[in-house]
Chains A and B, each alone.
Chain A
Amino acid sequence: MSLDVESLRKDFPIFETQVHGKPLIYLDSASSSQKPRQVVDRMVRFYETEYANVHRGVYDLSERATAAYEGARAACARFVGARDPRSIIFTRGTTEGINLVRFTWARANVKAGDEILVTEMEHHSNLVPWQLLAQEVGASLRHLPVDDEGLLRIDLLDEYITERTKVVAVSLMSNVLGTINPVRALADAAHAAGARIVVDAAQAAPHIPIDVNELDVDFLAYSSHKMLGPTGAGALYGRLDLLEEMPPFHGGGEMIREVFPDHSTWAEVPHKFEAGTPNIAQAVGMGAAVEYLEGLGMGNVRAHEKEMVDYGISKLEEAGAKVYGPKDISIRGGVASFNLDEVHPHDMATILDQEGLCIRAGHHCAQPLMRVLGVPATARASFYVYNTPDEIDALVGALDKAKGWFA
Chain B
Amino acid sequence: MVCLSLEELYKEVILDHYRAPRNKGQLDPHDVALERNNPLCGDEIEVFVKFDGENVGAIAFEGKGCSISMASASMMTEKVQGLTVKDAGELAETIKKMMAGEEEGEPEVLGDLVSLKGVVKYPVRIKCALLGWNTLLEAFEESGKN
Contact = CB atoms under 8 A, between A and B. Distances in A.
A350 B11 contact: no
A178 B67 CA distance: 28
Nearest to B122: A350
A376 B44 contact: yes
A346 B125 contact: yes
A354 B41 CA distance: 20
B66 A405 contact: no
Nearest to B11: A405
B35 interface: no
A346 B66 contact: yes
A162 interface: no
Contacts of B67: 344, 347, 406
Contacts, number: 47
A350 B6 contact: yes
B44 to A, nearest CB: 7
A406 B41 CA distance: 20
Interface in B47-95: 64-68
Nearest to B43: A376
Interface in A392-406: 405-406
A354 B125 contact: no
Interface in A361-382: 361-363, 367, 370, 376-377
Contacts of A376: 41-44, 64-65
A345 B43 CA distance: 11
Given A361-B41, A363-B41, A376-B42, A346 B11 contact: no
A406 B125 contact: no
Interface residues of B, number: 19
Interface residues of A, number: 16
A368 to B, nearest CB: 12
Interface in A229-250: none
B44 A354 contact: no
A351 interface: yes
B128 interface: yes
A351 B125 CA distance: 12
A248 B72 CA distance: 51
Contact of A346 (B6, B7, B44, B128): B128
A65 B92 CA distance: 56
B15 interface: yes
B15 A377 contact: no
Interface in B1-44: 6-7, 10-11, 15, 40-44
A356 to B, nearest CB: 13
A354 B6 contact: yes
B6 A351 contact: yes
Nearest to A371: B42
Contacts of A347: 10, 66-68
Contacts of A367: 42
Nearest to B128: A346
A350 B44 contact: no
Contacts of A346: 41, 43, 65-66, 68, 125, 128
Given A347-B67, A347-B68, A354-B6, A406 B15 contact: yes
A406 B14 CA distance: 10
A225 to B, nearest CB: 20
Contacts of B65: 344, 346, 376
Given A344-B65, A405-B15, A406-B15, A377 B42 contact: yes
Contacts of A354: 6
A361 B44 CA distance: 15
A367 B43 CA distance: 12
B64 A350 contact: no
A370 B11 CA distance: 29
A405 B66 CA distance: 14
Most A CB contacts (10 A, CB to CB) among B41, B122, B128 go to B41
Contacts of A405: 7, 10-11, 15
A259 B11 CA distance: 68
Interface in A341-361: 344-347, 350-351, 354, 361
Most B CB contacts (10 A, CB to CB) among A347, A361, A367 go to A347
A363 B122 contact: no
Contacts of A361: 41
20 contacts: A344-B65, A344-B67, A345-B66, A346-B66, A350-B124, A350-B125, A351-B10, A362-B40, A363-B41, A370-B42, A376-B42, A376-B43, A376-B64, A377-B41, A377-B43, A405-B10, A405-B11, A406-B10, A406-B15, A406-B67
A-B pairs, top 4 by smallest CB distance, nearest first, are: A346-B66, A376-B42, A344-B66, A377-B42
